[in-house]
Structure 1
């Protein structure tokens, strides 16, 4: 066998070993719970060593809680070990390696930190030092027998990926891990029913163009509204991968504007499994949106996503393909199938440049084609291109000593019909430009509770004047999250 091929097999073998070890590493460290303390206190022992939270949101929240203690706990090995484990679970092996290495410099006898450090090295392609770390842990006398035998079996020369996968399946199933969220918001919108800003419509009749003014009832209406959101997420180990479930319900009510009332329900199921140098995820989802008595829409989404484990600097990327079966219950002639290709990159943190570990930036680009179920659908095939960006970071507001979460996002899309929508509206196919953006800031006020504000802006311009829409929304609310 060529040397390069042997080295690659060895690296892949160890990567599988290291990823599975992370499920057991937490058992090496005594389990304690995070507590709410103020930065003025000394570094609290109860802040570190707990079992890792499940889900990226819970991990991010935990990193936020640790951030104010960075200076006070700088000489605590358990602080850096726990923070490194969180960064590793969040998918940031380079930054995890920095924290874990510091933990081991302060206390070289932390087996959990050694295993996490080995995994971080393996994910960065440093197979030899990572394998040596695992060997050292396997030879320790204070390691649980089951873990010791498992590590030794994985280090046997020539062990295959199939053998390691079978061993990993022997790890006890810890069952479902659930997190839930409830949010209530009250605010104001400048266009509650997303009505057109056009004051009149030009119809192209055989006798010539005729301008028809729109009734006041068709114009935008501003007013107050209330929104409610309930969501839950479940994670469970299944084989070598992970099963994920998401459910969400959202409703909006506006006083004196029946057309503004709407309901949204969505469900999502996905299975993520290691494949080559990364993770492959298959997913199915369903959505339902309705404005009672006015509009009703449903769809089903099937998607495949691949996320390589390698990174460019502090960024990781993914590619996904999805197919959406769309059903417009109130207008069946608009039914169709939308196929989309999405490229995405997520960056952060970067401790070496001083950026907060909780900072995250996501960029994405999608392109898709909407094919009608009925060949006579107005507009025919539709093409769409979309670019978006999202940035999140911790921020302390002026005159406040508490750290909250700031979110900023922007999305721009262009859609183009292949055929004329209606001869009465003109002879050119519809082309639409849309811009959406928003800012949000949420501040923890007590355990599991936070308060915040969200501001969003929408601007849509189209060659079909009925699709010219603007809206500005501002909501304040309370959020309860349980992880």
Structure 2
């Protein structure tokens, strides 16, 4: 439906079009090379077209036919923010959302478009007959697979997760003794090669959906083979009614961690959650992906096994609550007024944000586990903003854990351990414009974490930086 054109519009975007040197051409160029050339010309003219809705509608249509659904959705959303009265852009936006898997919003957009009395006859015919249209795309998208690969080189200040203290106080029968920590157990810093592979497959059936996912992460270090790791996770999730205002969700997962060539941890997890879709006041009809927040409340179960230290095995039971939002369409990006700055950025916009709260208890499977039962409270916050083609992400985590019993007679006369861990990760990424790197993003990530404890052996600090490439393969 990208050939449908932007349609007619009378908003400020139409007036701004006269200042934009790029003229839209419908139907779009026939060949991929011509489409790519047209898109490059549109990108070069962006500083003069920041307030032109027809420009962003045409740019989004080109990105859509070139298979860049995510970029197309961003361009088309901006077009509709500048001028909501563009039926062709609405149609293309619905197709982009359907391609990205947001079938509910795509269908809602199409239904709103059908109600327009001024809908051009050509667009109405396309909606009813064109098999390339957004509704046909939505119906055909009962099965969807996505693969993401990344590779990065970085530096880590604490590859072996060692305590920050240089000496430890032990309480022996003859009294307290202050002992220096052996250098082998001090923090080891060095470079690392990081790789990830993620796979997701969703299958819709009878209004329900099944989501399968696999995640494999690895780290190789130059410092020592004992500071590398390999982690794998597999999960299956059932969604009762993804397009309904509320639904039940069930999830089972399995994970394995090898650290320093040793089988460190195996986990089996299960959760049952109920989710609600929250619409902003007065915004019952969706115009963009972000008109709703999703709130979730559920129960988590986890079985943890440590093959090399079985006395640490435990079973976790707890609750979880979360909220995930994408801003409403009326929260328009802040336009960049400087022509110099506009050469690489078209404005700020908030892509998504969310928070999660988890609380529960980890019960020891062995009466000899140090500390006995663990009480845990976790809070995580995260979000992503866009500045032109730049993606700016931030994630913060806060975890407090307290033991029910004393940890060990060797530490402060069997003191009960309490820890507080905080972590912050900042990421900047940008899709590569070169057609040879289609689907790739370059990124830089900064991470910092700190764990405080009333027992010095469990106080830790860590800093890391990495840079690399990420491929998103729809």
TM-score range, shorter chain: 0.7 to 0.9
Distance 1:348 1:71 in 2: 15
Q: Which residue of 2 aligns with 1:434?
A: 421
In structure 2, the CA distance between the partners of 1:372 and 1:75, relative to structure 1 (3 Å rule), is same
Q: How does 1:2-401 map to 2 (within 5 A)?
A: 37=39, 38-39=42-43, 40=45, 42=55, 43-44=57-58, 47=61, 62-66=72-76, 76-84=86-94, 90=102, 100=112, 104=116, 107=119, 176-274=143-241, 277-294=245-262, 296-313=264-281, 314-355=292-333, 359-396=351-388
Structure 1 residues 291 and 46, CA gap change in structure 2 (3 angstroms): closer
Aligned to 2:23: none
The structure-2 alpha-carbon separation of the partners of 1:312 and 1:304, relative to structure 1 and needing over 3 Å to count, comes to farther
Distance change >3 Å, CA 302–CA 344, structure 1 → 2: same
What SS does structure 1 have at the residue aligned with 2:371? coil
Picking from 458, 461, 467, the partner of 1:467 is: 458
Contact 2:166 2:181 survives alignment (8 Å) = yes
Q: What is the distance in 2 between the residues matched to 1:107 and 1:173?
A: 25
**In the aligned structure 2, how far is the partner of 1:410 from the partner of 1:365?**
12
Question: In structure 2, what is the Cα distance between the partners aligned to 1:99 and 1:65?
Answer: 21
TM-score by length of 2: 0.73
Residues 77 and 102 in structure 1, CA contact (< 8 A), matched pair in contact too:
no
- Residues 61 and 296 of structure 1: CA distance in aligned 2, closer, same or farther (over 3 Å): farther
1:26-57 superposed Cα distances (whole Å, 9 cap, x missing partner): xxxxxx99965234385538828969x9xxxx
- Contact kept in structure 2, 1:351 and 1:357, CA below 8 Å: no
TM-score normalized with structure 1 length: 0.71
Q: How many residues align?
A: 389
Answer whether contact 1:63 1:358 (CA < 8 A) is retained.
no
2:60/2:75 contact within 8 Å kept? no
RMSD: 3.6
Report what 2:399 is aligned to. Answer: 413
Contact 1:308 1:317 in 2 (8 A): yes
Contact 2:321 2:357 in 1 (8 A): yes
Change (3 A) 1:99 1:456: farther
Distance in 2 between residues matched to 1:70 and 1:33, nearest whole Å: 27
| CA offsets 1:412-437 (integer angstroms, 9 cap, x no match) | 11000000110111232100000001
Residues 332 and 294 of structure 1: is their aligned pair in 2 closer, same or farther, counting only changes over 3 Å? same
1:239-258 deviation line (CA, Å, top 9, x unaligned)? 32011110111110110222
Q: Are the aligned partners of 2:233 and 2:256 in contact in 1 as well (CA < 8 Å)? A: yes
In structure 2, distance between residues paired with 1:444 and 1:173: 27
Deviation at 1:73, TM superposition (A): 8.0
Q: Distance in 1 between matches of 2:117 and 2:212?
A: 40
Equivalents in 1 of 2:462, 2:454: separation in Å?
Answer: 19
Question: Judging changes above 3 Å, is the alpha-carbon distance between structure 1 residues 256 and 318 closer, same or farther for their aligned structure 2 residues?
Answer: same
Q: Is the 8 A contact 2:396 2:423 kept in 1?
A: yes
2: CA distance between counterparts of 1:277 and 1:67? 23
For residue 449 of structure 1, what is the aligned residue in structure 2? 440
Runs (5+) with no aligned partner, structure 2: 1-29, 47-54, 131-137, 282-291, 334-347
